Amino acid sequence: MSPSSDANAPLVEAHRAMYRGMLERDTDLLDDLLDGGYTLTHLTGYQQSKTEWLQQIDSGEMRYHSWRERSTSVEVTDETAVVVGRNVVDATIWGSRATWNLQLTTTYERRTGEWIALQTVATTF
C-alpha cells in the first residue's frame, strides 16, 4: 500500500514521530509511541528492550544526528500493520558514528484508535 493513502496517514505519522523522538532524544514521546514489551533488533542481531534503548538514548550512548527519508510502505491487516521505512541515518551507536542506509520494519497494533509499535527490526538496504 502507498503511504499517501489517507487510511495509512496515521501509521506513516506514527513512524515519522518515532524518528523525531530518536533525533530529538525525546524519550517521553518514544515511551508513548512504543508498547511496554517493545523490542528493537539492531543490525548486529542484538534484540534490545524498550527500557534499555530509551536509557541509552537518554545517556547519549545512542545518538541520532539526522535522517533522510527514502521510502515508506504500509501493509495493514485488520488491527495490525507493518511499516517499512527506508532512510539514510547518521547516528552514533555505542561510540561509533556512521551513516547507514537503514531499513526499519516496525509492527504496529491498533489500540483504541491509536497505532502502538510492538517491535522494530533494523536492516540495511
20-76 tens-digit pLDDT = 999 999 999 999 999 999 999 999 999 999 999 999 999 999 999 999 999 999 999
The arithmetic mean of pLDDT across residues 8-22, rounded, is 95
Residue 2 pLDDT: 47
Could you tell me where the DSSP H helices lie in the chain? Answer: 9-23, 27-33, 50-59
Residue 81, C-alpha cell as written in the block: 500493520
Averaged confidence pLDDT in the chain:
95
Contacts of residue 55, Cβ cutoff 8 Å, sequence gap at least 6: none
The arithmetic mean of pLDDT across residues 92-110, rounded, is 97
For the chain, the domains span 6-124
Residue 1 pLDDT: 43
Residue 53, C-alpha cell as written in the block: 534503548
Three-state secondary-structure class, residue 99: strand
Cα–Cα distance, 20 to 111 (Å, whole number): 22
Cα–Cα distance, 19 to 26 (Å, whole number): 10
Neighbours of 32 (CB within 10 A): 12
pTM: 0.92
Q: Tell me the percentage of the chain whose pLDDT exceeds 90.
A: 94
Give the architecture (CATH level 2) of 6-124.
Roll (3.10)
